[in-house]
Amino acid sequence: VNPMDKNTFHRCIRDGDLVIVYERHDNMKPIKVNKESELQNRFGVFKHAEWIGKPFGSKVFSNRGGFVYLLAPTPELWTLVLSHRTQILYLADISLVIMYLEIVPGCLVLESGTGSGSLTTSLARAVAPVGHVYTFDFHEQRATSAREEFELTGLSSLVTVNVRDIQGEGFPSEFCGRADSVFLDLPQPWLAIPSVANMLKQDGVMCSFSPCIEQVQRTCETLKSKFTDIRTFEILLRAYEIREARMGSGHNNGASGPLPCKRRQLSPGEATKESQESLHPSVMAKPCSEAKGHTGYLTFARLRCY
């Protein structure tokens, strides 16, 4: 059973499954269900045996009446709970990568470096059930940990992790002309670009993630000789604070809709029952002062056809 499979949502939790235990949006952790085991947290003791047979998404209770939710381990949640051995890609960047690399079921994708496997997990789901992701990292221990985690998340049939210096040696020649897309998250990606051009099928697409604009400039310079449609994106997330406010109607003569009641400057005497009733609740949104900052630049390019 592949726990990242969408069918997971339609079945019940079994002994040995990976679940994401959700306390709050900022407090989740992955746990492998073991019928002999217990989870202890500030809400009390939860027996795993009581989770077995319940659908993913269930609310389960502790001996003290506290509760957590048991969620299916999607790639989205995995990215939020995985152990960080390196910097990782987050969902805003990951979504753009998968869309602009045109990854669909059946694709053959090459990736380097593997890092903590955050992107790889989403790549694997995108190529399932018959495609494959070959991911390379020159750090032996990181490759081993990533391999173990793909076993845990049920993705090992879709992902192969290899140890290789991609900047120094390029991708293995067995993939020449076979890759639908290639993704690089390397410190000097321009060194790997000649190899990427050899690996891609005609019309194949590559993407390189770099935190610094100087790295992007150098990558783009190298891309020019064999690639076309070179485009760099930076994704900046902007969260909004949402709140409900009482709005007056029909008093402001403005084209932009009713104003919030405080701007109508009602005196206390004016706030009669009648005027209260003419105010209606509305949802207001304003950008959060604390916006998420820069992660990196994503440069996409398509292999030029001759």
Residue 125 makes contact with ligand SAM by CB under 6 A: no
End-to-end CA distance of the chain: 44
Residue 131 makes contact with ligand SAM by CB under 6 A: no
Residue 116 makes contact with ligand SAM by CB under 6 A: yes
Residue 128 makes contact with ligand SAM by CB under 6 A: no
> According to CB under 6 A, which one of 31, 119, 197, 223 is a site residue for ligand SAM?
119
Question: Of 18 and 119, which has the nearer Cβ to ligand SAM?
Answer: 119
Query: If we measure between CA atoms, which residue out of 30, 33, 28 comes closest to residue 12?
Result: 33
Residue 89 makes contact with ligand SAM by CB under 6 A: yes
Question: Of 62 and 210, which has the nearer Cβ to ligand SAM?
Answer: 210
> According to CB under 6 A, which one of 2, 58, 87, 232 is a site residue for ligand SAM?
87
Please give the residues from 162 up to 181 whose contact with ligand SAM meets the rule CB under 6 A: 165-168
With beta carbons less than 8 A apart as the criterion, state whether 254 and 199 touch: no
Q: Please state the separation of Cα 256 from the chain's center in Å.
A: 37
Query: If we measure between CA atoms, which residue out of 21, 41, 156, 172 comes closest to residue 110?
Result: 172
Which helix (DSSP H) or strand (DSSP E) does residue 137 occupy?
strand 132-137
In sequence order, which residues have a C-beta less than 8 Å from that of residue 268 and are 6 or more positions away? Answer: none
With beta carbons less than 8 A apart as the criterion, state whether 110 and 123 touch: no
Number of residues that bind ligand SAM (CB under 6 A): 23
Of the candidate spans 84-92, 259-267, 280-288, 289-297, the one that interacts with ligand SAM by CB under 6 A turns out to be: 84-92
Binding site for ligand SAM (CB under 6 A): 86-89, 112-113, 115-119, 136-139, 142, 165-168, 185-187
